[in-house]
Chains A and B, each alone.
Chain A
Amino acid sequence: MKIAVCIKRVADSETRVKIAADGKSLDEAGVKYILNPYDEFAVEEALRRKEQAGAGDVVVIACGSGASQETIRTALAMGADRGVLLETAAVPADGLSVARALAAELKDGSYDLILFGKMAIDDYNHQVGPMTAELLGLPCVTCVAHLDLAAGKGTAEREVEGGMEEVEFPLPAVLTVDKGLNEPRYPALKGIMAAKKKPLAVKPTTLGAPGLEVLAMTPPPERKEGRIVGEGAAAIPALLKLLREEAKVL
């Protein structure tokens, strides 16, 4: 099984967002960066599939600044075999330009499976995976929460409003994965040491002109100061009155 996993370096979910002086981006000072949590499920799934097959090659690919090397090393420490960084100055708001760079790298790789996290927790785009699939002309299933693979075919389940959609697809395919697919392993010390020696190719990459232009990044509107209605069950009548008469939601 030859599997590619496309990953992204993102600001940790506990980050307090401060806007940079340009008014268009995140102030990176003091921000902790991590491997996108949904990509961890993708890396884990690739490792399990390789282990089940008894042999294979798991390649992790990131598109981003030089700092993404550290993120790739995290995936290598989990057990991936090698890494590729498509090095760019910054990751643009335009997911298609990233998908194009990834598709160019993946095109001649003869992968059986190409995995992505269903979304990155920074831009919430949900788009680079299916766009890459389209550019490669491969079948794609998004938000996979359950997966069976056998004899060149797969069945997957993906969450939709009110239930799970059951999907069949042929391999090779591009899948984007959801929480619940597996429980990602923590890199062990041995893995962290081994990761330092694993191959990581850095390829300078120029992305095309973005089709989305960021005009501004602003903080969300402040919520107005709330109040403590009272203590214990005794506060319920006052709460209901406020919900009915002031907030008008009941």
Chain B
Amino acid sequence: MSNVLAVLEQRDGALRKVSHEVVTGARRLADALGGEVHALVCGAGPVSGVDAAGRHGADTVITATNAAFGPYAPEGYARTIAERAQAGGYSAVVCAASAQGKDLAPRVAARLAVPLASDITDLSVDGGAVVVTRPVYAGKALLKVKVVAQPAVLSLRPNVFTAVERPKPGTVESVAATGDGGRVVVKGIKAAAAGALDVAEAPIVVSGGRGLKEPANFKLLEELAQAFGGRAAVGASRAVVDAGWRPHGDQVGQTGKTVSPSLYIAVGISGAIQHLAGMRTAKVIVAINKDKDAPIFKIADYGVVGDLFEIVPALTSEIRKLNG
């Protein structure tokens, strides 16, 4: 068999955008293997938006529902996916390396008694074997890995596999997932501030470091982020997170999040090697720093030297005009 199982993700009964990337990656693999893409999504009930999976190249879409699954059931999902993977004799199982995928994919791989190639940024097929690229040392090096075991279980780094339209039938089939939800019970999600984007998912990230001098000054970055009209998130360097100025979830770098936005604006960040590792894959990097010799300028596409307290408000007002 040369078919590929794509594991989609939903939240509150709606398909998440990262699922399109998963189908796109799975389609590439299936084309190289000469097989079909079967997409699987687990949930407590029907999932809206699954028809999009056909648009991105799924031959069939299976929704596996079980009321006991609640918002997310790690054990119930892992069992359902592993059983389907086994029964279908798939060549590969493709998940997202999202928060949920990072939790789920290792469980599925362990149940199938195969390794997991996680957080991959590229994939191909060579002589029938799946070959992937994955960043290590937070992106300071890339590892090319051949997956010897079958099925090849992969998780794709979000924001890397740009969703491509490749229309296929996308026949939707609904099945009842058997068994219980498992011992680990997800009660729900306490949402962050309404509309707040996660730095790992935002297309634009505005990050601040020590140069902001004190926590209250992050207001300048929040205003700049808001000026982008809901497309930007505020990130932070390790120094300011360790100092307690910003929450841990905002940290960009080797001991925080690795981000690949289309625009990364580093404000008052000197550019320690462990920070650069977390954001070097951004499409465009802008640095604003008073020290013209700061290492951040070495990897920034565009640098502005000077006082951030003068530059950032001016930039914010110009961006507001653009989006006004």
Residues of chain A touching chain B, judged by Cβ–Cβ distance below 8 Å, are 11, 13-17, 19, 26, 37-38, 93-97, 99, 121-131, 133-135, 139-143, 145, 157-170, 178-180, 210-220, 223-224, 226-233, 235-237, 239-240, 242-243, 247, 249-250
- B residues adjacent to A (C-beta < 8 A): 71-72, 74-75, 78, 97-100, 102-103, 105-107, 109-111, 113-119, 131, 134-149, 182-192, 196-198, 200-201, 204, 241, 247-249, 251, 253-256, 258, 262-263, 272-274, 277, 280-281, 283-286, 292, 297-307, 310-311, 314-315, 318-319, 322
Q: Closest CB-CB distance, A173 to chain B, in whole Å?
A: 8
Contacts of B71 in A (CB 8 A): 165
Complex: chain B residue closest to A103, CB-CB? B110
Instruction: Pick from A15, A123, A212, A235: contact of B148, CB below 8 A.
Output: A212
A157 to B277, CA, bound (A): 27
Which residues from A are CB-within-8-Å of B285?
223, 226
- Can you offer 16 A-B residue contacts whose CB atoms are under 8 A? A15-B137, A16-B140, A96-B110, A96-B114, A125-B118, A126-B97, A130-B107, A131-B107, A164-B190, A166-B187, A166-B188, A211-B148, A212-B145, A226-B301, A229-B304, A250-B322
Alpha-carbon distance A126/B107, docked complex (angstroms):
11
How far, in Å, is B110 (CB) from chain A's closest CB?
Answer: 4
Q: Considering the chains assembled together, what is the distance between the CA atoms of A249 and B302 in angstroms?
A: 13
How far, in whole Å, are A96 and B192 apart by their CA atoms in the complex?
Answer: 34
Contact A180 B247 (CB under 8 A): yes
Complex Cα spacing A233 to B192, Å: 33
Chain B contacts for A230, CB-based, 8 A: 304-305
Instruction: Kindly identify which residue among B78, B141, B319 contacts A26, using a CB–CB cutoff of 8 Å.
Output: B141
CA distance A121 to B75 in the complex (A): 26
Query: Does the CB pair A226–B322 fall under 8 Å?
Result: no
Establish whether residues B183 and A243, one from each chain, have CB atoms under 8 Å apart when the complex forms: no
A232 lies within 8 A of B274 (CB) = no
Would A214 and B144 be within 8 Å (CB), given that A130-B107, A179-B255 are in contact?
yes
